A and B are shown apart, each in its own frame.
Chain A
Amino acid sequence: MDRNSLILGCVAIYMLSCIVIGLWAMTRTKSSHDFFMASRSLGFFVTGVAIFSSIMSGFGFVGGPGLVYAMGSSSLWILVSAPIGLALGFFLLGKRLRLLAELRDSVSLPDLAHARYQSRWVRLLVAVAILFGVITYLSVQIKAMALVLQEIFARNEIWGHESLFLCVCVSSVLLAFYCVTGGIIASVYTDVFQGLVMIAVAVLVFLTALASVEGGLAECVRTIQHDDAEAAGPWGTMGILGCLSWFFVFAFGSLGQPHVITKMMMSRRVEDVRFTAPLTMTGYVLTALLWISIGMVMRTHVLNGQHPDLSRADDAAAEFLYSYASPLLAGLTFAGLFAAIMSTADGFLNVGAAAVVHDIPQAIKGRSLRQELLWARIATGGLTILAAWFALASPDLVGILGTYGWGVFSAALAPCIGIGLNWKRATAFACIVSVLLSMLINAVAFALQLQGIFIPYGVSPGAVALLVSLLSFVLISLLSNPEPLAPDVDAVMDL
């Protein structure tokens, strides 16, 4: 069997496994509660692996190496934000979300926001913000998956390099299939399978990558530094303000990532979050090795003239695997790439579908749709189509599009959820203003970017939106009269 066929075979086996898990999960999904919340039955190991594999997405496995290749060490600030981001997530939300979810039997984040603020407007806006972010971030995953598939198909002479549209279609159909059939149960169990594959390949790729350069890591650093000292410096080519704005968005913004924090609501026991935290952290640190090593090694090889120039930075991961990894490792890693992408995308589809069929109707009509499970499956398919269109329409790098998607969620949800669930003084009006401002700033920034107008110094629009959103949330809450809370929520917030 030649190299290309072996890689294609590994990917095909992986995809089939996901389909089997999806079908198995379908037999366990009897209600919308199963579909969205897995009946709050997950142990700490499953939850921990599911959380980290949701964070380390196509953005991390395809966009991450691309960012390092293009910008040197700038994107390392996204990685170093993870320990503080996860600490914030577990301290502020681990216990609180789980208790409130059980108390109110909630199936989504807007459900909890409604319980906390007792406002239909808050529920509606949080659901709309989630939808807005889901389309953006899901498109990142579909685009990343399509780019990798495109490379695999081209090398196997199935389709040519001009087949991005077809690859987007294949990616979308596959994603939709196992999310539509199995809902969150398929999602979390494939997350575990995918998370373990990701850890294994990240460590192996890290070692292979460094071995592919004579002189190892030191030679990589010397080559990159010789070409451009700033690229090897702490801020990379992006500069200090751009890096610190990423750091802010990715650290504090982790409190607003619905696909991640919703999983904290699913654990079997409250006490489990204690062990989920270090497990998630370990998984993330190990998989981050792939992000750093591939980008750095590919930059080194291209600078040294050992590898032809890349036309797209996003091709760094695929090029590395085809050129420097053994066929089996390449096949496993491609499966790992798809694992990273699909484990995040399924989470998005799940929270997006909940927003459409559960939260928005609840906010407008005061009740969910009839036949919620059926509509949830239809909504999952619809969201996939919308995100696929966005992926095809957007010209940005996967990594850049990913930072934008993360920023949308961060600015809209981190203040209202992260702080609001821990601060009795926070008001519904403050929440509404902060969500609206964040969406407005992000939408304007995105429209300007399409016109080629960017914020100076590479500052992320998400960081500006998050600062404004935080400022308005805290300031308005401090200046308003405290609002009475629902007695049960009040009591839980005292714990």
Chain B
Amino acid sequence: MNRFHFMLLCVLVAAAMLTYALLNPEPANGHGVSHARFAAMRQGGSAARHEGMLVAGWCYGTAQLVFFALCLPLGLKRDDQATSSPRRWFLAVTLAYVVTFTMVLICYALGMDEPLLSPFWDIPWATCWSVFGMWIVPLLYTVLYLWRFPDWVFTSEDQQRFQEIKRRFGRDACDG
């Protein structure tokens, strides 16, 4: 199996999980209800609306994250896509990403009756993981891009090869 088979598998898992979830009857507050007092506000009501949905949600979300991680190395130089150095780094960041997402769900599941509050402005732990973790961890991919660009993405030899390609294929040849 190559990268694209795995990508297809991730998309299939995501589609299957979404289909499974959509086949379940939606509770009355499945995606919120109008607020009892305020016209333009909505309320989620009880966390019980997510019972039986969290595992499907985890699979759906994790399939997305793995799919993204499989896509990212497509932008590297062809020779570097399968080498161990980029692969190690991408694996490490992706693992951190999946763990962070898993923590969102674990904290939410543990706090379904009474949300577990963090010491950070009393924000529930699950929200903390989603806002700070899910926001910050993927920034590491950009750090990798900035740091390893001249080695992994576009080298000075690539620049020369590109100039050579431009010389070899004139504008007329390109139109064919």
Which residues of A pack against B, CB within 8 Å? 69-73, 76-77, 79-80, 83-84, 86-88, 90-96, 99, 102-105, 115, 216-218, 221-222, 225, 227-242, 244-245, 247-248, 251-252, 270-271, 273-275, 277-278, 281, 285, 299, 302-303, 309-313, 418-419, 422-423, 425, 455-459, 463-464, 467-468, 470-471, 474-475, 477-478, 486-488, 491-495
Contacts and interface: CB of A to CB of B under 8 A. Distances in A.
A233 B125 CA distance: 9
B92 interface: no
B115 A455 contact: no
Interface of B is mostly: helix
* Nearest 7 CB-CB pairings of A with B: A230-B44, A458-B31, A237-B32, A91-B75, A488-B169, A87-B141, A422-B74
Of A285, A477, A494, chain B has the most CB atoms within 10 Å of the CB of A494
Nearest to A220: B121
A419 B74 CA distance: 8
Contact of A458 (B32, B76, B166): B32
Contacts of B18: 241, 245, 459, 463-464, 467
20 contacts: A70-B42, A80-B130, A83-B136, A91-B72, A93-B75, A230-B43, A233-B108, A237-B43, A239-B31, A239-B50, A241-B22, A244-B60, A270-B154, A299-B41, A303-B38, A311-B39, A486-B176, A492-B165, A493-B78, A495-B154
Interface string B153-176: 110001101100110110101101
B110 interface: no
Given A73-B127, A239-B49, A240-B53, A309 B39 contact: yes
Contacts of A70: 40-42
A302 B134 CA distance: 29
Given A228-B44, A239-B50, 16 more contacts: A70-B41, A72-B44, A87-B142, A92-B75, A218-B121, A233-B108, A233-B124, A233-B127, A239-B31, A241-B21, A273-B149, A275-B146, A302-B41, A309-B40, A478-B5, A487-B173
Contacts of B68: 84, 88, 251-252
Nearest to B77: A495
A244 B64 contact: yes
B123 interface: yes
B146 A94 contact: no
B66 interface: no
B21 to A, nearest CB: 5
B15 interface: yes
Contacts, number: 276
A342 to B, nearest CB: 26
Given A234-B108, A241-B53, A491 B169 contact: yes
Contacts of B145: 87, 90-91, 274, 277
Contacts of B47: 229-230, 233
B98 interface: no
A467 B142 contact: no
Contacts of B115: 225, 229, 232-233
A86 B15 contact: no
B4 interface: yes
A418 B165 contact: no
Nearest to B76: A91
B126 A234 contact: yes
Contact of B43 (A94, A228, A234): A228
Contact of A244 (B42, B57, B74): B57
A80 B138 CA distance: 9
Nearest to A87: B141
B72 to A, nearest CB: 5
Interface string B21-43: 11000100011110101111111
